[in-house]
Structure 1
Amino acid sequence: MAKWGQGDPRWIVEERADATNVNNWHWTERDASRWSRRRLEQLLVGLAVESEAGRCAISELRHADGEASCSSRKGRLIFFYEWHITLSWEGTIKESGEKHEGSVEIPNLSEENGVDDTEISVIKNKGDGDVLKDLMRTEGTSKVREALRDYLKALKTEFTQGMILPTKISAGQELAVKKRSSENNVQDFVLPVSLDSVGVRIPTVKIALKEMFDCPAKELYGIFTTKELVETFSKSHAVIEAKRGGKFQMFDECVTGEYTELVPSQRIVMKWRCRNWPQEYYATVALIFKEWANQTELQLDCKGVPVCNEDSTRQCWQKQHFEEIHVLLQQTKTVPLYTGKTQSPV
């Protein structure tokens, strides 16, 4: 065996008592099916398209039948994926307010066909509203293809992290590449120690969610920036200093952070962390408010979440934030929400 940083970089031994299958040189396979279903749902559900005629959005991933895997052999990655995907979509005609729904069928997403060649069928339930079906066939199909490309990109980068290990010499070069690609939602890395020593890298992911709320953007913005309303939906004491540089604490200090940008009714950007994350480590959370008719679409972009905390962070936003805010809005339909004085950006 070569020493670390010398000889064939595929044979790496450093401070190991056992050199069995070093760097996955022999055949190694990792099942990506469960990860893929979760990633496909994240990328597809919530996709929306809009025109002068109306608006449509993917509302549900009904089925993702199939499998995916990644294998490594002699330092080379081999991918297999085959999916039959069924999506549900809902749409509203602007002029009449009529609502229609249908489905999207992707019968064979596999490595045998490119995404552009993959068949995508749009189906609408009975009734008028073909204008919405046409919108989904054109712009909707284009958006779905983009999401499928993002899934394959994540499968070949994010999911395979750690299957092929770099040499110590190339570690600095790899870090630079990862940093440049972070804007494209590949994986970022946090290095608690210097590359000159054998440190631990923390792989991180980006979480993107969309949710529709039955209220104006101003009202929804106020729910996130008004102490009394935060305490109501979180059912716990909160500290809310809704200004740039202001601190916040929620859920009995399980969630803490700092506001870095506040644009009333439009955008909130925060340094955000859970108590069980590495000390002094924060993700960047952006909340984008888009008002449409009497509803507001909230887009959440959370960058830098430790991989091991991805599911719990997602649950925190979906269950403890979004679902509780829906309950709050239902309870206060007959009683105007107190939003206090609107905080101007600082």
Structure 2
Amino acid sequence: MKNLLRDYTGLVTGDPRWIVEERPDATNVNNWHWTEKNACSWSKDYLRDLLVGLNLKNSAGSCKITSIEKCEGDASANNRKAKIIVFYEWELSLKWVGKVKDKEVKGFISIPNLSDENTAADLDIQIRTEDKSDEAQTMKDALRSEGTEIIRQTLNKYIIALKDEYTKGMILPKKDTSVSSTMSKLSLSHDEGQVAAVSTGPAKVNGISNTGVKLDLCDINTEASMKCTANDVYNALTRPEMFVAFTNGSGQIEPKVGGKFHMFGGNVHGKILELDPPKKIVQDWRFKHWPEGHYSRVTFTIDEKQDTTKVKVNQQGVPASDQEKTREGWDLFYWDAMKRTFGFGSYIL
């Protein structure tokens, strides 16, 4: 069984697991219990609607997918502790028909690894033809160079819809629905460029926020081992496309000194203070629910070894009430997410 994500919602919601309140259905208080929703039938219908008739016109001629010959696997959406987790694993075989110089050619497309362990960019798309004519080979080459990206983008629509559309209503409402809303944004954020504006300011590590609130502060030191180069880790933390990928589509970053970053709908945000590629990154870093104007100081130290890369984090000025959950969050939403997204580590299945 896949290693399940641990609960981390208390960072921005006040840990609602411990709040018992009236519920409209009088069951599954605060969505604490595991619930599962089978997504197989919905997935097959959605994939058929997306793929059958898909236009793969390219420089060689016209082409389209005419049918799904094989669609084997399963998919499910799960709610555990008010956090949505989706699992899917499909093996697809598609049939295509095209024309090259007025000659009809046919073939198949195999996709063996459409699963939650891969991003759309990682999909293995194999192109075959029914015959060995010059026209068929021409179309095959064109589909490899031009059609595969169309297929990846189309299948990414399924992945997003499974996470965002199919799971709607799985987290039942409370009297105050803002908590559920915040959890959904953390788990399934696909911002589409509409993240709330955030502000950054100087780090306050002396226990006094800009609003004059007295804070009990602490420091956090954590580290992780990555099976990749130091450049890989540095790029994941600074390159916009990689930052977006491991934050599940919720993150944006400006890779320059003074550049701003945010993730999870603005619940985490800050500013870059220092860049020393690929060894060191320094940031002002805060949670949205911290007192206004209070930032922690985060220093990433990246050290490449013979067969692994050690990345260390020193975070100064964390409110003591958030110490443990912040520490857990580095493992869950940074290191585990990078390993899962980019293959920087091993996972127990």
**TM-score > 0.5 by shorter chain:** no
Q: TM-score range by the shorter chain?
A: 0.3 to 0.5
TM-score normalised by the chain length of structure 2: 0.44
